[in-house]
Amino acid sequence: MKIAPLTGNLGAEIWDADVRDPAQFGEIFQTFVAHSVIVLRGQNLTPDAHLDFARKFGPINVNRFFAAHPEHPEIALVTKEPDQTQAIGETWHTDHSYDEMPALGSILHAIETPAVGGDTVFCAMAAAFAALSPAFQSILMPLRAWHSSRHVFGPDQADTEATETGRITNAQAARQDALHPVVIRHPLSGRPGLYVNPQFTIGIEGLSTLESDAILGAIYEHCRRPEFQARLRWHPGDVAIWDNRATWHKAINDYPGYRRHMHRITIEGCTLSAHG
Catalytically active residues are 93, 95, 249, 264
Spell out the residues 6+ positions from residue 249 whose beta carbon is closer than 8 angstroms to its own: 89, 92, 93, 94, 95, 120, 121, 122, 123, 242
What are the two backbone dihedrals, phi and then psi, of residue 162, each rounded to the nearest 5 degrees? -65, -35
Q: Is 253 exposed, middle or buried (0-12, 13-18, 19+ CB in 10 A)?
A: middle
Quick one: CA dihedral 63, 205, 37, 35, positive or negative? negative
Q: How many Å apart are CA 91 and CA 95, to the nearest integer?
A: 11
